[in-house]
Amino acid sequence: MAHDLLTALGLALLIFGLFVFFTAVLGLYRFDYVLNRMHAAAVGDALGIFCILAGLMLLHGWSLSAAKTLLILVFLWLTSPVASHLIAEMEVTTIPNLHAECKEETR
């Protein structure tokens, strides 16, 4: 019973992860500007990766493979925001007219 429940939960997480990636790819195609597209892609990088890997862990059960999957999740969650940060920094420091593309906030 508990095993069936875990499998159902894992499948649900996988399907939700696929949906999140679908929205990410859709946003990547529909948006024009770098920062907008990055926002769309980051949804997939954070939530989509989490859903898919957590679903895989639940499907696979308590094992060494699940621990390795957890390590992959930690690695991706550490590196993907840094990459996004670098791309955004590059865009903001090099674009000549940021006003035309988006609203600026000063803090």
Q: Which residues bind another protein (CB under 8 A)?
A: 75, 78-79, 82, 85-86, 89
Yes or no: say if 66 and 53 are a contact pair by the CB < 8 Å rule. Answer: no
Neighbours of 32 (CB within 10 A): 7
Tell me whether residue 1 or residue 78 sits nearer to another protein (CB atom): 78
Tell me whether residue 16 or residue 77 sits nearer to another protein (CB atom): 77
CA distance 57 to 70: 8
Tell me whether residue 30 or residue 85 sits nearer to another protein (CB atom): 85
For the bound state, the minimum distance from the C-beta of residue 104 to another protein, rounded and expressed in Å, comes to: 20
For the bound state, the minimum distance from the C-beta of residue 89 to another protein, rounded and expressed in Å, comes to: 7
Tell me whether residue 63 or residue 79 sits nearer to another protein (CB atom): 79
CA dist 39 to 27, 55, 71, Å?
A: 9, 24, 24
For the bound state, the minimum distance from the C-beta of residue 78 to another protein, rounded and expressed in Å, comes to: 6
In this structure, the chain runs to a length of 107
Three-state secondary structure call for residue 83: helix
